[in-house]
Amino acid sequence: MIELYPQIKHLHILMVTLSGTLFAMRGAGVLLHGRWPMSRLARWASYAIDTTLLTTALMLLTILPWTAFSNGWLAVKLTLLVAYIVLGTFALKRARSMRTRAILFALALLTYGWMITSARAHHPMGIFATLH
């Protein structure tokens, strides 16, 4: 399966980009009081993208040697993923006020950004690793 690594990695990166873009668009739509962000089509597109994203992530996990994750960046990325999902859920539909939704939306986007920099740097601190 190692021969498929480049294609799986590229698909994973594409799904990360699509997932974040769709979340950003849906979040902005919710804050602008739009109805489409919670439509069946938007939700199903999100489910399809995120399922593909998770599938490619699991495939990459099985291909790569475990030493590639020895410095803890993957554990941080997975922890941030859980935080991102919780923040995103509250930002899109569970928070009661628009102010709270906006704050949670911003925090979810920051968490998403940290996940990306952590993955790109293969370091738990992501972009912040260069600051010390």
> What does the pLDDT read at residue 8?
97
Tens digit of each residue's pLDDT (9 = 90 or more) over 77-108: 999 999 999 999 999 999 999 999 999 999 99
Question: Smallest Cα–Cα separation from 12: which of 63, 55, 64, 76?
Answer: 55
Q: What is the pTM of this model?
A: 0.91
Tens digit of each residue's pLDDT (9 = 90 or more) over 55-80: 999 999 999 888 777 778 888 999 99
Contact 81, 36 (CB under 8 A): no
How confident is the prediction for the chain on average, in pLDDT?
Answer: 93
> What does the pLDDT read at residue 26?
98
C-alpha to C-alpha distance for 88 and 26, rounded to whole angstroms: 10
Single-letter code of the amino acid located at 109:
L
> What does the pLDDT read at residue 9?
95
**All structural domains of the chain with their residue ranges:** 1-64, 69-132
Residue range 15-19: mean pLDDT, rounded: 97
